[in-house]
Amino acid sequence: MRNVLHITKLLLSVAVMLSAACTSDLRNSDSDGAGSELRTAEGTGVAGDAHRQAERSAGEVARAMADTADFREERLELVRRHIAARGIEDPRVLESMRSVPRHQFVPEGYVEQAYENRPLPIGHGQTISQPYIVAYMTALVEPDSSDRVLEVGTGSGYQAAILAEIVEAVFTVEIIPELARTARDRLRQLGYGDVHVKQADGYFGWEEHAPFDAIVVTAAAEHIPPPLIDQLKDGGRMIIPVGSPFRTQTLMLVEKRADDLSTRSLVPVRFVPFTRDE
């Protein structure tokens, strides 16, 4: 399996170079058509659109080449058994989860476990979240294709890639330089050109691109930074997982309506009430 991955990585870099030069209509090569709309990230104009179209097509090729039939099969099974079966119904979220090759976002030693429904370590005390939690968080922000989403805590870049399959633009901030650099390279290699990665303190959000329709905070802190609340659009939603590494206890949804803020504590695992009358 590892040899396959090494070869895949080599092929990947070649594919990215080739597809950047070739802007022919490759975008329909993805037969399931997930996220086939043309998106704009920054700037407008025919040249820019064409460039992004080429980038996107290149990404699809890159992802296709980085994938294998085995991984695809495992991924579909994961989505069927652990995500769709546990109440995630949004078709765009499910399609995104089926499309993004999670095995490309986990450290080499954990590739075999990439399609198990569990968080995995990515170094620096951080984890790539459990796939179900990623899907649940994505569904909770109710992403729309025209949305601009801020992610605080890029980590491996997996959550950003999932969002990028659905929304117009993803802005993601990571404070740990090594993680930011790796995620940026990985996302670029996989063709997620409309994910903008910045190495910075997530406390300040990304003011130049604010306001955001949704904010996904993956690296939860014990306070919600006031600048993030300011950068959330009226009617916007912010989602924060609350828990320690390897275990999300609850998800907190912050909703902003006419400057009124409310929180909702959501339970990702459907516990039955923790008491029984005997």
Compare residues 20 and 253 and give the one whose CB is closer to other proteins: 253
Asked whether position 108 contacts other proteins by CB under 8 A, the answer is no
Asked whether position 210 contacts other proteins by CB under 8 A, the answer is no
Asked whether position 48 contacts other proteins by CB under 8 A, the answer is no
Asked whether position 220 contacts other proteins by CB under 8 A, the answer is yes
Compare residues 97 and 219 and give the one whose CB is closer to other proteins: 219
> Segment contacting other proteins (CB under 8 A): 28-36, 45-53, 90-98, 224-232?
224-232
Tell me which of 43, 87, 226, 235 binds other proteins, using CB under 8 A. 226
Say which residue the tokens 């006419």 belong to. Answer: 258
Q: How far apart are CA 22 and CA 45, in angstroms?
A: 19
- Give the three-class secondary structure for 126: strand
Would you call the peptide bond into 121 cis, given omega within 30 degrees of 0 as the criterion?
Answer: no
- Residue 134's nearest CA partner among 216, 73, 20 is 216
Compare residues 59 and 157 and give the one whose CB is closer to other proteins: 157
What angle do helix axes 2-21 and 177-189 make, rounded to 10 degrees?
A: 70
> Segment contacting other proteins (CB under 8 A): 25-33, 37-45, 58-66, 226-234?
226-234
- Report, as residue numbers or ranges, the catalytic residues: 129
CA atoms within 13 A on the CB side of 226: 0
Asked whether position 47 contacts other proteins by CB under 8 A, the answer is no
CA atoms within 13 A on the CB side of 161: 28
Compare residues 106 and 164 and give the one whose CB is closer to other proteins: 106
Torsion of Cα atoms, 266 then 270 then 271 then 277, to 10°: 110
Q: How far apart are CA 132 and CA 159, in angstroms?
A: 11
CB distance 151 to 170 below 8 Å: yes
Tell me which of 34, 68, 117, 233 binds other proteins, using CB under 8 A. 117
At 75, which helix (H) or strand (E)? Answer: helix 69-78
Asked whether position 62 contacts other proteins by CB under 8 A, the answer is no
CB distance 229 to 257 below 8 Å: no
Asked whether position 123 contacts other proteins by CB under 8 A, the answer is yes
Closest distance to other proteins from the beta carbon of 129 (Å): 12
- Residue 135's nearest CA partner among 106, 110, 165, 105 is 165
Asked whether position 257 contacts other proteins by CB under 8 A, the answer is no
Asked whether position 263 contacts other proteins by CB under 8 A, the answer is yes
- How many chain residues touch other proteins (CB under 8 A)? 52
Asked whether position 49 contacts other proteins by CB under 8 A, the answer is no
**Interface with other proteins in residues 166-185 (CB under 8 A):** 175-177
Tokens of 67: 């994938």
- Which residues are at the interface with other proteins (CB under 8 A)? 109-110, 116-121, 123-125, 130, 175-177, 201, 203, 220-226, 229-230, 242-247, 249-250, 252, 254, 261-267, 269, 271-278
